């Protein structure tokens, strides 16, 4: 009987790990595809209009669930400063990330953004007194080496200036902002819960998109067509679905294992960059991207 019970526990544990990784990969794939669609939409109707529509549709999609939650108004009044701050960071993250991917090269910028978890770890270490193990410090060092190898191309005297393109520089800035956003997201979620900690900041970010949209003279409905609206609905659903997949995977299994799965995010933009945008990677970039993805997977598992 004990042997049979042990087998059952072992099978359940193994299945939990598999489910966590699968949910993480599905989440990363969903968000990666959505970001590629967003890049195309931003070129057609404008960066601001695309972001505004995505946030609006995301709120519309998840609002029915909000009515099943309680203490929503109390949370707004009690933690409004954190929610507004996270909404502002959410807005800045979108603008910098999508713009960096838009300028490209996508196949280089996308893997660089995976370094955001190191930023989150650093902030947690500084402000929440979360300690790093020696193995994590070593892996972080490998990540930084991979990032450097990915960015710089060999063989030219002006390789530093030619490699540090506007897209790459924005990608590095996006990495810092995304890391800050996820750190704040963790802090806010501990205070208000996972759903409300995402729902209200997205809603508040809309109030940032609206004035910017009119300032940039990007009227949201001006270039809207049925096809574009359908794509906006698709990308909003994919993004919010990706977040729910991550949360469900963490609930069913291990956050660390789900994080391992989400390191697959850059794979979709890299493939698209090479196949669709005809971007070419030099051998050092292939090595750098491999170091980045491999070390980030190890870091997520530690």
Residues 47-61, mean pLDDT to the nearest whole number: 92
For the ranges 1-5, 42-46, 187-191, 252-256, the one whose mean pLDDT is highest: 42-46
- Give CA–CA dist 243/86, Å, rounded: 16
- Give the total number of structural domains in the chain: 1
For residue 246, the model assigns a pLDDT of 72
Residues 189-203, mean pLDDT to the nearest whole number: 80
Q: Is the pLDDT of residue 57 over 90?
A: yes
- Give CA–CA dist 81/25, Å, rounded: 33
Residues 213-230, mean pLDDT to the nearest whole number: 84
pLDDT in tens, 105-161: 777 787 777 777 677 777 877 777 666 678 777 877 787 777 777 666 665 544 444
Poorest-confidence range of 100-109, 112-121, 168-177? 112-121
Residues 296 and 143 sit within 8 Å (Cβ to Cβ):
yes
- Give CA–CA dist 81/20, Å, rounded: 33
For residue 160, the model assigns a pLDDT of 46
pLDDT above 70 coverage of the chain, percent = 75
Residues 22 and 248 sit within 8 Å (Cβ to Cβ):
no
Residues 41 and 274 sit within 8 Å (Cβ to Cβ):
no
Alpha helices in 132-277 (DSSP H): 134-151, 159-163, 166-192, 196-215, 226-252, 255-262, 267-275
Coil/strand/helix, residue 169: helix
For residue 5, the model assigns a pLDDT of 46
For residue 59, the model assigns a pLDDT of 92
For residue 140, the model assigns a pLDDT of 72
Confidence of residue 1 (pLDDT cuts 50, 70, 90): very low
Confidence of residue 172 (pLDDT cuts 50, 70, 90): confident
For residue 9, the model assigns a pLDDT of 41
Give every CB contact of residue 219 below 8 A, 6+ residues apart in sequence: 49, 213
pLDDT in tens, 253-289: 655 556 656 666 777 777 777 777 677 777 777 887 7
Q: Which domain holds residue 110?
A: 2-301
Residues 24-50, mean pLDDT to the nearest whole number: 86
For residue 242, the model assigns a pLDDT of 81
The whole-chain average pLDDT of the chain stands at 76
pLDDT above 90 coverage of the chain, percent = 14
């Amino acid at each position: 009987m004990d042997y049979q019970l042990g087998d059952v526990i072992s099978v359940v544990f193994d299945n939990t790990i598999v489910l966590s990784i699968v949910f993480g990969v599905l989440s990363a794939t969903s968000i990666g595809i959505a970001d590629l669609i967003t890049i195309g939409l931003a070129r057609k109707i404008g960066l601001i209009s695309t972001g505004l529509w995505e946030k609006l549709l995301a709120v519309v999609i998840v609002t029915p669930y909000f009515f099943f939650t309680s203490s929503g108004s109390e949370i707004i009044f009690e933690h409004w400063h954190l929610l507004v701050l996270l909404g502002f960071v959410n807005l800045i993250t979108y603008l910098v990330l999508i713009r960096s991917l838009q300028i490209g090269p996508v196949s280089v910028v996308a893997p660089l953004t995976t370094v955001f978890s190191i930023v989150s770890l650093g902030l947690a270490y500084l402000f929440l007194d979360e300690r790093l193990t020696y193995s994590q410090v070593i892996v972080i060092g490998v990540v930084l080496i991979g990032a450097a190898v990915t960015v710089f191309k060999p063989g030219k005297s002006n390789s530093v200036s030619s490699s540090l393109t506007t897209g790459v520089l924005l990608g590095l800035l996006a990495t810092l902002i995304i890391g800050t956003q996820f750190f704040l997201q963790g802090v806010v979620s501990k205070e208000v819960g996972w759903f409300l900690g995402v729902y209200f900041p997205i809603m508040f970010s809309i109030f940032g998109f609206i004035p910017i949209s009119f300032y940039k003279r990007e009227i949201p409905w001006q270039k809207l067509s049925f096809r574009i609206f359908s794509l906006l609905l698709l990308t909003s659903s994919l993004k919010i679905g990706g977040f729910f997949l991550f949360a469900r995977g963490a609930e069913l299994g291990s956050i660390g294992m789900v994080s391992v799965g989400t390191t697959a995010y850059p794979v979709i933009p890299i493939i698209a960059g090479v196949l669709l945008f005809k971007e070419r990677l030099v051998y050092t970039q292939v090595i750098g991207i491999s170091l980045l993805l491999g070390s980030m997977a190890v870091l997520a598992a530690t």
